[in-house]
């Protein structure tokens, strides 16, 4: 039916474009809230009489970059060290800050590897396969209670990979894939629609 064909073709153009614009609008709108930290007389609405969309996002980016410049030198590292030691003395804040910092260091550090390899694993039951990511190995305290060699695996949900499940699986029970982590994420987010090309898959043993 031509109408249905044209409708689907139009949706394929407008749906990703609309969602992209909506996400960008949400991000910029959220970052623009940083203007509320400035005195009212310093805000664009007061200086030039109109609001400038995205000005807060630019301001936030500049603050983040300048912070990186400061902490990249010896003096900045000493200041951060003092700040962290101060937070470490506050019971509740210490637990929250240390946990969040460990995760952020893993995700954003230049030498960090949050997801090291894409894996093929049987989940949630034997005979049902999904794509997961190698995140490391169980800690010594946990590993000594596990028989054999195990690996830490993150199983993301579809289409939102930021939520998922953390599993410790026997090393022989996972299959390393030759696809990159980026390709695996695209494969998961697209619910299997965008299949990455793999030259030599070892998904069968």
Average pLDDT, the chain: 83
For residue 153, tell me if it sits in a domain: yes
Structural domain count of the chain? 1
Q: What is this structure's pTM?
A: 0.53
| pLDDT, position 31 | 81
| pLDDT, position 106 | 63
Kindly state the tokens that stand for 90: 């506050």
Q: What is the pLDDT of residues 28-42, one digit of tens each?
A: 888 888 877 778 787
179 touches 118 (CB < 8 A)? yes
For residue 129, tell me if it sits in a domain: yes
Q: What is the pLDDT of residues 51-105, one digit of tens each?
A: 777 888 888 888 888 888 888 888 888 888 888 888 888 888 888 888 777 767 6
| pLDDT, position 202 | 44
For residue 49, tell me if it sits in a domain: no
- pLDDT of 204 > 50? The answer is no
What pLDDT band is residue 1 in, cutting at 50, 70 and 90?
low
Between 51 and 155, the more confident residue is 155
Q: What is the pLDDT of residues 95-120, one digit of tens each?
A: 888 877 776 766 666 555 567 899 99
For residue 10, tell me if it sits in a domain: no
- pLDDT of 49 > 70? The answer is yes
| pLDDT, position 169 | 95
For residue 31, tell me if it sits in a domain: no
Q: What is the DSSP string of the chain?
A: -HHHHHHHHHHHHHHHHHHHHHHHHHHHHHHGGGGGGS-GGGSHHHHTSS--TTHHHHHHHHHHHHHHHHHTSHHHHHHHHHHHHHHTTSHHHHHHHHHHHHHHHHHHSTT--SS-EEEEEE-SSTT-EEEEEEEE---HHHHTTSSS-EEEEEEE-SS-TTSEEEEEEEGGG-EE-SS-HHHHHHHHHTTTSSPPP-SS-----
For residue 123, tell me if it sits in a domain: yes
Segments forming the whole domain that contains residue 168: 117-189
For residue 157, tell me if it sits in a domain: yes
């Amino acid at each position: 039916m031509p109408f249905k064909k044209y409708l689907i073709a139009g949706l394929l153009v407008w749906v990703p474009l609309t969602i992209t614009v909506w996400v960008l609008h949400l991000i910029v709108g959220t970052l623009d809230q940083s203007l509320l930290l400035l005195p009212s007389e310093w805000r664009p609405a007061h200086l030039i009489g109109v609001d400038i969309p995205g000005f807060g996002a630019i301001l936030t980016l500049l603050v983040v970059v300048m912070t990186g410049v400061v902490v990249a030198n010896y003096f900045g590292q000493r200041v951060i060290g003092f700040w962290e030691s101060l937070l470490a003395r506050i019971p509740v804040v210490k637990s929250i800050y240390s946990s969040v910092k460990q995760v952020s260091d893993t995700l954003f550090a230049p030498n960090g590897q949050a997801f090291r390899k894409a894996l093929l694993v049987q989940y949630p039951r034997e005979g049902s396969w999904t794509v997961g990511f190698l995140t490391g190995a169980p800690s010594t305290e946990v590993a000594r209670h596990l028989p054999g060699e195990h690996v830490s695996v993150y199983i993301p949900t579809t289409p939102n990979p930021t939520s998922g499940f953390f599993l410790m699986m026997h090393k022989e029970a996972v299959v390393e894939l030759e696809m990159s982590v980026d390709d695996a994420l695209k494969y998961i987010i697209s619910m299997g629609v965008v299949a990455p090309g793999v030259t030599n898959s070892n998904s069968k043993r």
